[in-house]
């Protein structure tokens, strides 16, 4: 699927933005830890920690972020913000942020949309085009040690809705309410994830004109590079960052 791109492309993007991702994941851990600092009893915190460890975030950083969330250490208070709008070519875009300065983040996001021909809209203007789904991405090993039927059976038994087979990956979809259960069951079965999170999956996709792709990709990239932005969802039918 174009919105995810290839496994290699996602790994390359993660490597190039590792330092910035430390900041984003630390904020996510801090916010999740407000519901309890023990990942054994806090599925959101457990997932946030696993994602941080997947990009080799130091344990000291993780511990410090947890303590900020539980109040053991002083830290900023983050507010969740969601922005909706359109990029060039009618591509719907949703930006999710965690910020300690509402005005700064709103101004920055709006400026990025404006600079690259986008249009920041009102709440609800594009979210109806997306469904919230748990998405777990597993890389296909070169030695074919993961059997498609076995993985699908395990996923469905754990509560997943569907599995899509791509050239280099398996994508498993769940309802948000059972995402943590499916994630835990598959992990205990020995599967490793390239990505695992609650995403906004588009119900309908948009295909921009070729001349719009470069500006659209730059807009998405700058939004993702913003320290306050946690996720950028869009419904572009093509891979904007394909090599």
Strands 162-165 and 79-86: unpaired
Q: Identify the helix (H) or strand (E) that includes residue 201.
A: strand 195-202
d(CA 226, CA 222): 6
DSSP 8-state assignment for residue 161: -
Kindly report the CATH number that applies to the domain delimited by 7-70. 1.10.10.200
229-230-236 Cα angle (round to 5): 90
Give the pLDDT confidence score for residue 65 in this predicted structure.
97
Q: From 240, 227, 236, select the one nearest 78 (Cα to Cα).
A: 227
Q: Which regions in the chain score pLDDT beneath 50?
A: 1-3
Distances from the Cα of 231 to the Cα of 116, 168, 200, 221, 242, angstroms? 18, 23, 10, 11, 19
Give the pLDDT confidence score for residue 3 in this predicted structure.
47
d(CA 233, CA 224): 10
pLDDT digit string, tens, across residues 69-109 = 999 999 889 999 999 999 999 999 999 999 999 999 999 99
Q: From 65, 81, 13, select the one nearest 224 (Cα to Cα).
A: 13
**Domains of the chain, residue spans:** 7-70
Q: Identify the helix (H) or strand (E) that includes residue 130.
A: strand 130-139
Which residues, 6 or more positions from 182, have their beta carbon under 8 angstroms from its beta carbon? Answer: 134, 136, 155, 158, 159, 160, 172, 174
Give the pLDDT confidence score for residue 118 in this predicted structure.
97
Q: With beta carbons less than 8 A apart as the criterion, state whether 151 and 195 touch.
A: no
């Amino acid at each position: 699927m174009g919105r995810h791109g290839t496994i290699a492309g996602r790994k390359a993007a993660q490597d190039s933005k590792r330092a910035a991702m430390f900041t984003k994941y630390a904020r996510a851990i801090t916010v999740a830890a407000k519901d309890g600092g023990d990942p054994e009893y806090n599925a959101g915190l457990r997932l946030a920690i696993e994602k941080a460890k997947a990009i080799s975030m130091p344990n000291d950083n993780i511990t410090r972020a947890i303590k900020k969330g539980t109040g053991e250490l002083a830290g900023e208070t983050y507010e969740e913000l969601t922005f909706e709008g359109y990029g060039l070519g009618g591509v719907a875009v949703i930006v999710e942020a965690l910020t300690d300065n509402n005005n700064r983040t709103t101004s920055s996001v709006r400026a990025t949309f404006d600079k690259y021909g986008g249009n920041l809209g009102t709440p609800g203007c594009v979210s109806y085009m997306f469904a919230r789904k748990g998405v777990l991405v597993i890389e296909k090993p070169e030695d074919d040690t993961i059997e498609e039927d076995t993985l699908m059976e395990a996923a469905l038994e754990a509560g997943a809705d569907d599995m899509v087979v791509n050239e280099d990956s398996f994508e498993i979809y769940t309802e948000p309410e059972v995402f943590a259960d499916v994630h835990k069951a598959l992990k205990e079965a020995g599967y490793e994830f390239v990505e695992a999170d609650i995403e906004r999956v588009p119900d309908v996709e948009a295909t921009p004109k070729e001349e719009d792709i470069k500006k659209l990709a730059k807009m998405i990239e700058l939004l993702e590079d913003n320290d306050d932005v946690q996720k950028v969802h869009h419904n572009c039918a093509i891979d904007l960052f394909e090599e």
